[in-house]
Amino acid sequence: MTEFPPLKNDLILRAARGEKTDRVPVWVMRQAGRYLPEFREVRKQHDFFEICRTPELACEVTLQPLRRFELDAAIIFSDILVIPQALGKQVEMVPGKGPSFPEPLRCPEDVEQLNKNVDVCVELKYVFDAITLTRKQLDGKVPLIGFAGAPWTIMSYMIEGGPSKTLSLAKGWLYKHPAASHNLLQIITNITVKYLVEQVKAGAQMLQVFESHCEFLGEKLFDEFSFPYLNQIAKSVKSQLSSQNIAAVPMVVFPKGGHFAIKSLYDSGYEVVGVDWTVSPTKARVMAGAGVTLQGNLDPCALYSAKDDIPTLVRDMLFEFGTQKYIANLGHGIYPDVDPENMKMFVDCVHSISDEMNQRLNN
């Protein structure tokens, strides 16, 4: 493995492992994105997936928010849909619409056309190169997070062909074709495990698995078609790293909209469970138990508030979560029209208010 500069700020890694921290670490989903003018300038010149596939560009946009804000982690700029691309599906990013599959999966027979034996070291080498380059460019400032989409979320995109308000086509598969659904989910799981292992080998110091479509499932379907694969990913990634004498890294699972999933995930192999803004932090802690770290969960729309109102919103969030075994974040990704100054206020308030809270507790 590549040698990297020593880490200067391990706050988020300590929080993820449940160790004591002097203040709450903070990062934000989609922190490298369209709300930043400098990112929009890059996008004027380059297609979305061109940025993902060009390590120098992916590195640049990953670092952009670190130049503006005192964040405690960077997250590599990529997309969860590079997995379907590696499996042989064409994915386009259509302006004003989002991701689009010209040829989505329409029947179980279509699954047989996927490149199930894909070599991730070849097909997704650009991601690993971007991670290694970014880790070097960070110069130890903060840890670098890698990520992947959860199997159900990836499956639903592959069947729906793009965003959907109901996921009725994908959910229809779960009822009409349960065996084929499990087969597809296992194919996605297998490549995701390899993908995440290689991200760690490339330099990722923490991993997040996004179950972005959890809310569409409900408890019964989650238990059958999501949880087993999330569990398998966490345990297999750690097992494969161990077999190669590589230290495991903390792993985060984010079941968006899945309040019913939190209790199941407390013992699933993930050190951190992310919660969205619809879940009370107090209830999330009760459901998750004391053994895991929680991450979240300010409503992304709260950043539309007047800047002077953000400290109160942050203080309320911190009082509910507490300052230990906790990583501050939004309850989902930051929106494209948020004022970067409000983002800065959010990050700075997490640090200053949590430091103040800890000093009171220690006196």
135 is catalytic: no
For position 362, what pLDDT does the model report? 80
Amino acid of residue 72: D
Give me the pLDDT at residue 361, please: 84
Q: What is the pLDDT of residue 301?
A: 98
**Among residues 17, 43, 68, 315, which one is catalytic?**
43
157 catalytic, yes or no? yes
Q: What is the pLDDT at residue 236? A: 98
Q: Is 326 assigned a catalytic role?
A: no
Q: What is the Cβ-side half-sphere exposure of residue 293, based on CA atoms within 13 angstroms? A: 28
Q: Give the pTM.
A: 0.97
- Name the strand (E) or helix (H) holding 82: helix 82-86
Strands 272-274 vs 144-149: parallel, antiparallel or unpaired: unpaired
Averaged in consecutive runs of 10 residues, what is the pLDDT profile of the chain (363 residues)? 93 98 97 97 96 98 98 98 98 90 97 96 98 98 98 98 96 98 98 98 98 96 97 98 97 96 90 96 93 96 97 97 97 97 98 95 78
Give yes or no: 43 in active site. Answer: yes
Model pLDDT, residue 84: 98
Q: Which of 285, 283, 276, 244 is nearest to 257 (CA)?
A: 276
Q: Check 35, 157, 195, 229 and give the catalytic one.
A: 157
d(CA 119, CA 307): 48
Residue 266 has a pLDDT of 85
Query: How far apart are the two ends of the chain, measured CA to CA in Å?
Result: 44
Here the tokens at position 197 are 């292992």
34 is annotated as an active-site residue = yes
